[in-house]
Amino acid sequence: MINRLMKFGILLLIGFMATTQVVAGDEIEEKRVKVALRKIGHETLLSLGDSVSHVLPITNEGNEFVIGFESTFSFDPFYVAGIVDSILDVAAIEGPYIVEFKRCSDSSVVHSYEMLETSVLDEMACGGRIIPDSCYTIHITLLNFGANSDEDVFLQSASPSQSSNGAAPEEKTWTKFITTQLLPVLFFIGLMIYVRKKRKPEALDPDVVQIGLYKFNTRNMVLIYEDEETDLTSKEADLLALLHGASNSVLKREEILNAVWGDEGDYVGRTLDVFISKLRKKLAADESLKIVNIHGVGYKFVTG
């Protein structure tokens, strides 16, 4: 039983560690993206001749990142698009993305475009037109953000036939679901099982008696030591219960015979000695338990 619990615990630990690694990988990727996007904001201001104004902290909701500025400006969409594309390329931030320029006052979109692998900047709408001076935020949605975590890299390396731009999205979706949602749930369930077992140990079962290092299940007539179970006969179980009930006290032979065998009349003088010998062997793993022969009187079950 203990071995099974240990194996289950190890599996839960592995699942938890895998989940933690995935989460940590996503956090690092998010930081990398924010560093690149801050540079986009910085280069945008420099291109306008502004080396004084600050780029506001980069925020994001999922895979949509927002670059904010403390000053107003006008801009050429084509020129800013070139800055965005070059910096993301240098930062190795792969995959298609959508860029939106929104007015701060009402979040209306004044310019937007989607950059795919086959897109060409020269074909971008409104290229070369100067957008009037105002307060703007740049929203960049990375369509593949979060799809390059460790488990996805494993899938790609295990399946060379997949394309480098993230093929087999269904496999990746399921893998991410398992590692980020299912495993934490299983870990929580395992933790609750462990806590409940700690709160309600087997020793609190009214049919289970703790005898030294052993658990004695009086109902099933079983001795349990660690993860090993030893069956007892009905007479052995009755004898052990009697001895344990009078621990560290002397029981006369007649008392024991009458209590365990009663009026059956089928025992002989050596019957008790044989059963005592059997119990000694079955309790041998705990040296603190001894069934002592009191010569001419009976037996004493010494514990501790």
- What was the pLDDT predicted at 54? 93
- What was the pLDDT predicted at 67? 96
Distance, in Å, from the CA atom of 283 to the CA atom of 299, rounded to the nearest integer, reads 15
- What was the pLDDT predicted at 72? 93
Sorted by where each begins, the domain ranges of the chain are 2-180, 208-302
Of 103, 101, 105, which is closest to residue 113 (Cα–Cα)? 101
Distance, in Å, from the CA atom of 45 to the CA atom of 68, rounded to the nearest integer, reads 11
Q: Using the 8-state DSSP alphabet, how is residue 204 labeled? A: G
- What was the pLDDT predicted at 280? 94
Note down pLDDT in tens along the chain; length 304 residues. Answer: 445 555 555 665 565 555 555 556 678 889 989 999 999 999 999 988 899 999 999 999 989 999 999 999 998 888 888 899 889 988 888 779 999 999 999 999 998 988 886 655 555 666 567 889 999 999 999 988 876 544 444 444 444 444 444 445 566 566 666 666 777 777 778 777 776 665 555 546 788 999 999 999 999 999 999 989 999 999 999 999 999 999 999 999 989 988 988 876 555 667 888 999 999 999 999 999 999 999 989 999 999 7
pTM greater than 0.85: no
Of 120, 100, 96, which is closest to residue 109 (Cα–Cα)? 100
Neighbouring C-beta atoms of residue 138, cutoff 10 Å? 22
Torsion of CA 36, 42, 45, 50, to 10 degrees: -170
- Given the candidates 1.10.510.10, 3.90.1150.10, 1.10.760.10, 1.10.10.10, the CATH classification of the domain at 208-302 is 1.10.10.10
- Residue pair 35/151 in contact (Cβ under 8 Å)? The answer is no
User: Which residue reads 């079983």 in tokens?
Assistant: 222
Q: Walk across the sheet containing 208-211 and list its strands.
A: 208-211, 214-217, 222-225, 228-231
In one-letter notation, the amino acid at residue 78 is F
The per-residue DSSP string of 60-112 comes to EETTEEEEEBSS-EEE-HHHHHHHHHHHHHHTT--S-EEEEEEETTT--EEEE
In sequence order, which ranges of 102-179 are alpha helices (DSSP H)? Answer: 150-158, 169-177
Q: Which residues of 73-86 are buried (b: 16+ CB within 10 A; e: fewer)?
A: bebbbbebbbbbbe
Of 215, 212, 264, which is closest to residue 235 (Cα–Cα)? 264
Distance, in Å, from the CA atom of 135 to the CA atom of 32, rounded to the nearest integer, reads 26
- What was the pLDDT predicted at 4? 56
